[in-house]
């Protein structure tokens, strides 16, 4: 764990962005295509912590990006080269462009200054999307990664961020996966090797203004 001063420097609002990954109604909402994952995100407190971080980012001037996975109704351009994609095509809730399933899930708030980055293909919220050029144009060097799932999209985002030269920071209590005990194992054995692992409260503390409440 970095010291308070190290974390504060690393999370400088001028060079930090917060990425929420697939925190959409069709994934973590009450009518999710993946009810086990949605339950894990809610009961673990991860979804609430993402909302807390987004709120603090808005107040601190940290750029927020929301990464959504969706597909066209005709499926054109979508991947079919893994079991995960083929299974998703049969789910009762589809992440179709323009539907409620691909809107942000409460209690997370989207503001006008946020970026919403949508992808129609692949597994990563970073590689092959607008995230990297947006971050570079904004002068961001640190990417704070939150959301779901710890099974697939979160490690993808962390690895891609590191490969692109960003410092990845993961608040371990603001991500979720299934089964519940998989997330801490993934954090401990994989993500901690390449990212700075922290907590929601530590991030909020780093963004708190000196002398502020």
For the entire predicted model, the pTM comes to 0.94
User: Would you say how long the chain is, in residues?
Assistant: 213
**Residue recorded with tokens 């603090």:** 56
Confidence at residue 89, expressed as pLDDT on a 0 to 100 scale: 85
Rounded Cα distance between 131 and 127, Å, is 8
Rounded Cα distance between 195 and 170, Å, is 7
Confidence at residue 22, expressed as pLDDT on a 0 to 100 scale: 98
Confidence at residue 191, expressed as pLDDT on a 0 to 100 scale: 98
Confidence at residue 213, expressed as pLDDT on a 0 to 100 scale: 46
Q: For the chain, what is the largest distance between any 2 Cα atoms, rounded to a whole number of angstroms?
A: 54
Q: Which residues contact 134 (CB under 8 A, 6 or more apart)?
A: 65, 115, 117
Which letter, b or e, does each residue of 79-111 get, where b requires 16 or more Cβ atoms within 10 Å of its Cβ?
eeeeeebeebeeeebbbbeeeebbbbbeebebe
**Residue recorded with tokens 């961020």:** 161
42: its two tokens:
């809610």
Side-chain-side CA neighbours of 66 within 13 Å: the count stands at 25
What does the pLDDT profile of the chain (213 residues) look like in tens digits? 778 899 999 999 999 999 999 999 999 999 899 999 999 999 999 999 999 999 999 999 999 999 999 999 998 998 888 988 888 888 888 899 999 999 999 999 999 999 999 999 999 999 999 999 999 999 999 999 999 999 999 999 999 999 999 999 999 999 999 999 999 999 999 999 999 999 999 999 999 865 444
Q: For the residues of the chain, what is the DSSP string, one character each?
A: ---HHHHHHHT-GGGEEEEEES-BHHHHSTT-S-HHHHHHHHHTSHHHHHHHHHHHHHHHT-EEEEEEE-B-TT-TT---SSHHHHHHTTSSS--BTTSGGGSBPTT----TTSEEEEESSSS-SSTTSSHHHHHHHHT--EEEEEEE-TTTHHHHHHHHHHHTTPEEEEEGGGEE-SSTTHHHHHIIIIIHHHSEEE-HHHHHHHHSPTT--
């Amino acid at each position: 764990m970095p010291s308070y001063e190290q974390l504060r420097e690393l999370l400088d609002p001028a060079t930090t962005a917060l990425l929420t990954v697939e925190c959409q109604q069709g994934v973590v909402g009450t009518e999710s295509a993946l009810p086990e994952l949605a339950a894990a995100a809610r009961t673990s407190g991860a979804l609430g912590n993402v909302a807390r971080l987004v709120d603090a980012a808005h107040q601190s001037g940290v750029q927020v990006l929301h990464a959504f996975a969706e597909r066209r109704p005709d499926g054109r351009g979508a991947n079919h080269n893994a079991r995960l994609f083929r299974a998703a095509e049969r789910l009762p809730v589809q992440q179709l462009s323009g539907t409620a399933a691909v809107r942000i899930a409460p209690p997370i708030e989207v503001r006008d200054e946020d970026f919403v980055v949508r992808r129609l293909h692949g597994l990563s919220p970073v590689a092959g999307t607008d995230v990297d050029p947006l971050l570079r144009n904004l002068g961001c060097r640190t990417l704070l990664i939150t959301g779901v799932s710890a099974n697939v999209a979160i490690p993808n985002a962390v690895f891609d961020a590191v490969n692109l030269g960003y410092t990845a920071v993961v608040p371990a209590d603001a991500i979720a996966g299934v089964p519940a005990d998989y997330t801490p194992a993934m954090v401990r054995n994989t993500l901690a090797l390449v990212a700075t692992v922290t907590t929601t409260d530590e991030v909020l503390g780093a963004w708190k203004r000196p002398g502020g409440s």
